[in-house]
């Protein structure tokens, strides 16, 4: 059984989802792929310990603190490749960015492959079911482009600026440009 609750953040309304013990989803209002990883209907239940802890974590994050990702019991639902990408996202420090290509290179090294597709990484990043906490907003194109963020590019910019990232060197690409 899966449960949900909502959280009012400074940037938008957020829906949280859990399996009773572990956080399985965090989606911003209007986000692409909203709730698509949860395999069944969710029941609203605000008082579960995982929701209470996640809301405290988010309060701290939006207050400018740097809470550790590993303070929360996370269990994102997805296949092996996506899990690998999401694990790497968790290692991106607060206030820093990396590129899709850098993540692809890390996976290639870990799997002893010659190379890995940045586009495949982009697909996994875009389907991250626990936004903000698993910091997919910290990934940009190799040229500094702010490519597709499921919560919207404007939200991505707000989150990066909140973390102190200098966004003046980043840009929104014209349609049709790649990672």
90 is a catalytic site residue: no
Residue 41's closest CA among 77, 4, 78, 15?
4
- Phi and psi at residue 8, in whole multiples of 5°? -95, 110
- Phi and psi at residue 89, in whole multiples of 5°? -55, -40
Pull the structure tokens for residue 173.
């690409």
Catalytic residue among 12, 18, 90, 136: 136
- Phi and psi at residue 170, in whole multiples of 5°? -100, 155
Is residue 131 within 8 A of residue 26, CB to CB? The reply is: yes
- Residue showing tokens 């190799």: 142
Half-sphere exposure of 155 (CA within 13 A, CB side): 22
- The residues annotated as belonging to the active site are 136
């Amino acid at each position: 059984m899966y449960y949900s609750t909502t959280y009012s953040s400074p940037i938008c309304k957020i829906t949280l989802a859990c399996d009773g013990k572990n956080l399985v989803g965090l989606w911003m209002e209007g986000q692409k792929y909203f709730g698509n990883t949860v395999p069944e209907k969710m029941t609203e239940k605000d008082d579960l310990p995982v929701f209470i802890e996640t809301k405290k974590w988010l309060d701290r994050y939006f207050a400018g603190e740097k809470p550790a990702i590993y303070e929360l019991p996370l269990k994102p639902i997805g296949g092996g490749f996506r899990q690998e990408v999401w694990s790497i996202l968790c290692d991106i420090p607060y206030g820093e960015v990396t590129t899709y290509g850098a993540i692809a290179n890390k996976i290639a090294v870990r799997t002893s492959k010659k190379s890995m597709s940045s586009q495949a990484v982009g697909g996994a990043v875009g389907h991250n079911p626990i936004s903000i906490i698993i910091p997919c907003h910290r990934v940009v194109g190799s040229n500094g482009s702010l490519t597709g963020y499921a919560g919207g590019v404007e939200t991505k910019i707000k989150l990066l600026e909140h973390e102190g990232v200098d966004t003046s060197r980043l840009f929104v690409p014209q349609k049709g440009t790649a990672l």
